[in-house]
Amino acid sequence: MSERDERTFVMVKPDGVQRGLIGEIVSRFEDRGLQLVAGKFMQIDEELAHEHYGEHEGKPFFEGLVEFITSGPVFAMVWEGTDATRQVRKMVGETDPAESAPGTIRGDFGLDLGHNVIHASDHEDPGANEREIDLFFDDEELVDYDLDASTWVYEDVDE
């Protein structure tokens, strides 16, 4: 991984999976020039849901959120690139799809706060990306490789 690169955790939520949006969402990050480092189609259990959304424990929507995120399979991913966490959040949009700009994932595919299609690490919470990657993936599941397209995405590539 080059010095300037950053990894971030992204997950297509159960609504996004059921609506057939995995491919569309993966395409957006590929098209942007980000590099896929890991991907896992999986079912989240109660314990993992509580850990992942621990910061929201006690809030009125917490139990519903846990029920939703454990209600069906998700597609968890790690994406890498310059400023990846912040850039991915810009592509995801606001928490509420109704407030998200067209062109963002939530703004294009959602209408309801409780079903907002995708999770991405919070760029305003330092360390959230690494914490979430560690929670969902073992080190050996993160694949190190050179992406040929990077030589065209970036002006200077220092592999």
Binding site for Mg ion (CB under 5 A): 122
The arrangement of strands across the sheet holding 5-12 comes to 35-42, 74-82, 5-12, 118-120
Q: What is the DSSP letter of 114?
A: T
Residue 61 interface partner, choices ligand IDP, Mg ion, none, CB cut-off 5-8 Å depending on type = ligand IDP
119 is known as an active-site residue: yes
User: Smallest distance from the beta carbon of 96 to ligand IDP, in angstroms?
Assistant: 8
Contact residues toward ligand IDP (CB under 6 A) are 56, 61, 65, 95, 113-114, 116, 119, 122
Helix (H) or strand (E) holding 23: helix 22-32
Report, in Å, the least distance between residue 159 CB and Mg ion. Answer: 32
Name which of 116 and 150 has its Cβ closer to Mg ion. Answer: 116
Q: 86: Cβ–Cβ under 8 A, 6 or more apart, which residues?
A: 123
Report, as residue numbers or ranges, the catalytic residues: 119
